Amino acid sequence: MDPTRHDLLIRGGTVIDGTRAPRFDADVAVKDGRISAIGDLSGHGARMVIDAKGRIVAPGFIDSHTHDDQAVLSQATMPFKISQGVTTVVAGNCGISAAPLRSDMDLPMPLSLLDMPAEDRFTTFRAYLDALRAQPASVNVAAMVGHSTLRVITMDSTDREATPREIAAMQALVEEALEAGAIGLSTGTFYPPAVKATTEEIIEVGHPLSARKALYVTHMRDEADQVMDALGETFRIGRELDIPVVVSHHKVQSTQNFGKSQVTLPYIREAMKKQRICLDCYPYTAGSTMIRPDRGMLECRVIIADSQPHPECAGRDLDDIAREWGVDKVEASHRLQPGSAIYFLMDESDVQRILAFDETMVGSDGIPVGENPHPRLWGTFPRVLGHYSRDVGLFPLETAVWKMTGLTARNFGLAGRGSLQVGNHADIVVFDAATIRDAADYASPKRPAEGIEAVIVNGSITWHQGIHTGARNGQVITRNS
Ligand code: ZN
Ligand code: CU
End-to-end CA distance of the chain: give it in Å, rounded: 26
Q: Is the pLDDT of residue 112 over 90?
A: no
Ligand nearest to the CA of 366: 2
pLDDT tens sequence across 16-25: 999 999 999 9
pLDDT tens sequence across 179-215: 999 999 999 999 999 999 999 999 999 999 999 999 9
Q: Please give the distance, rounded to the nearest whole angstrom, from the Cα atom of residue 188 to the centre of ligand 1.
A: 7
Q: Is the pLDDT of residue 481 over 70?
A: no
The pLDDT value recorded for residue 2 is 87
Q: Please give the distance, rounded to the nearest whole angstrom, from the Cα atom of residue 150 to the centre of ligand 1.
A: 17
Q: Please give the distance, rounded to the nearest whole angstrom, from the Cα atom of residue 95 to the centre of ligand 2.
A: 8
CA distance 365 to 280: 9
Q: Please give the distance, rounded to the nearest whole angstrom, from the Cα atom of residue 251 to the centre of ligand 1.
A: 11
Shared domain for 301 and 393, answered yes or no, is no
Shared domain for 214 and 331, answered yes or no, is no
The pLDDT value recorded for residue 480 is 61
Shared domain for 236 and 139, answered yes or no, is yes
Q: Is the pLDDT of residue 38 over 80?
A: yes
Shared domain for 189 and 256, answered yes or no, is yes
Q: Please give the distance, rounded to the nearest whole angstrom, from the Cα atom of residue 246 to the centre of ligand 2.
A: 12
355, 381, 415: which is the final residue of a domain? 415
Shared domain for 83 and 199, answered yes or no, is yes
Shared domain for 280 and 188, answered yes or no, is yes
Q: Where are the alpha helices (DSSP H) in 288-395?
A: 318-325, 329-336, 348-356, 376-382
pTM above 0.75, yes or no: yes
Residues 144-173 as b or e (16 or more Cβ within 10 Å = b)? bbbbbbbbbbbbeebeeebeeebbebbbeb
Q: Please give the distance, rounded to the nearest whole angstrom, from the Cα atom of residue 375 to the centre of ligand 1.
A: 16
pLDDT tens sequence across 267-296: 999 999 999 999 999 999 999 999 999 988
* Nearest of 364, 395, 361 to residue 85 by alpha carbon: 364
Shared domain for 262 and 131, answered yes or no, is yes
Q: Please give the distance, rounded to the nearest whole angstrom, from the Cα atom of residue 95 to the centre of ligand 1.
A: 8
* Cis, bond preceding 110 (omega within 30 deg of 0): yes
Determine the distance from the C-alpha atom of residue 216 to the mean position of all C-alpha atoms in its chain, rounded to a whole number: 15
- ∠ CA 223-362-453 to the nearest 5 degrees? 150
Structural domain contains residue 320: yes
Least confident of 23-27, 58-62, 120-124, 150-154: 120-124
Contact 32, 7 (CB under 8 A): yes
Structural domain contains residue 470: no
Structural domain contains residue 234: yes
Q: What is the mean pLDDT of the chain?
A: 96
Contact 104, 178 (CB under 8 A): no
Kindly report the CATH number assigned to the domain that includes residue 305. Answer: 3.30.1490.130
362, 385, 415: which is the final residue of a domain? 415
**Domain assignment of residue 317, given as a range:** 295-339
Ligand nearest to the CA of 97: 2
Shared domain for 300 and 258, answered yes or no, is no
Q: Do the bridges between strand 56-59 and strand 5-15 make them parallel or antiparallel, or are there none, so unpaired?
A: parallel
Instruction: Provide the edge-to-edge strand list for the sheet that holds 145-146.
Output: 145-146, 184-188, 215-219, 245-247, 277-281, 360-362
Structural domain contains residue 472: no
Structure-model confidence comparison of residues 389 and 299, the more confident one: 389
Structural domain contains residue 469: no
Ligand nearest to the CA of 363: 2
Q: Number of structural domains, the chain?
A: 2
The pLDDT value recorded for residue 120 is 80
Query: Cβ-count burial of 359 within 10 angstroms (0-12 exposed, 13-18 middle, 19+ buried)?
Result: middle
* Nearest of 236, 235, 367, 346 to residue 296 by alpha carbon: 346
Shared domain for 265 and 306, answered yes or no, is no
Q: Please give the distance, rounded to the nearest whole angstrom, from the Cα atom of residue 26 to the centre of ligand 2.
A: 37
Q: Is the pLDDT of residue 245 over 90?
A: yes
E-strand stretches of 153-252: 184-188, 215-219, 245-247
Shared domain for 129 and 196, answered yes or no, is yes
Q: Is the pLDDT of residue 240 over 70?
A: yes
Q: Please give the distance, rounded to the nearest whole angstrom, from the Cα atom of residue 133 to the centre of ligand 2.
A: 24
Q: Please give the distance, rounded to the nearest whole angstrom, from the Cα atom of residue 346 to the centre of ligand 1.
A: 15
Ligand nearest to the CA of 194: 1
Q: Please give the distance, rounded to the nearest whole angstrom, from the Cα atom of residue 105 to the centre of ligand 2.
A: 23
Q: Is the pLDDT of residue 379 over 60?
A: yes
Structural domain contains residue 450: no
pLDDT tens sequence across 113-144: 888 887 789 999 999 999 999 999 999 999 99
Ligand nearest to the CA of 368: 2
415, 450, 469: which is the final residue of a domain? 415
* Nearest of 420, 481, 366, 279 to residue 83 by alpha carbon: 366
Kindly report the CATH number assigned to the domain that includes residue 209. Answer: 3.20.20.140
Q: Please give the distance, rounded to the nearest whole angstrom, from the Cα atom of residue 219 to the centre of ligand 2.
A: 7
Q: Please give the distance, rounded to the nearest whole angstrom, from the Cα atom of residue 29 to the centre of ligand 2.
A: 36
CA distance 133 to 138: 12
Shared domain for 186 and 164, answered yes or no, is yes
Average confidence (pLDDT) over 308-330: 96
DSSP state of 317: B
Q: Please give the distance, rounded to the nearest whole angstrom, from the Cα atom of residue 470 to the centre of ligand 2.
A: 27
Ligand nearest to the CA of 191: 1
Ligand nearest to the CA of 374: 2
Shared domain for 217 and 350, answered yes or no, is yes
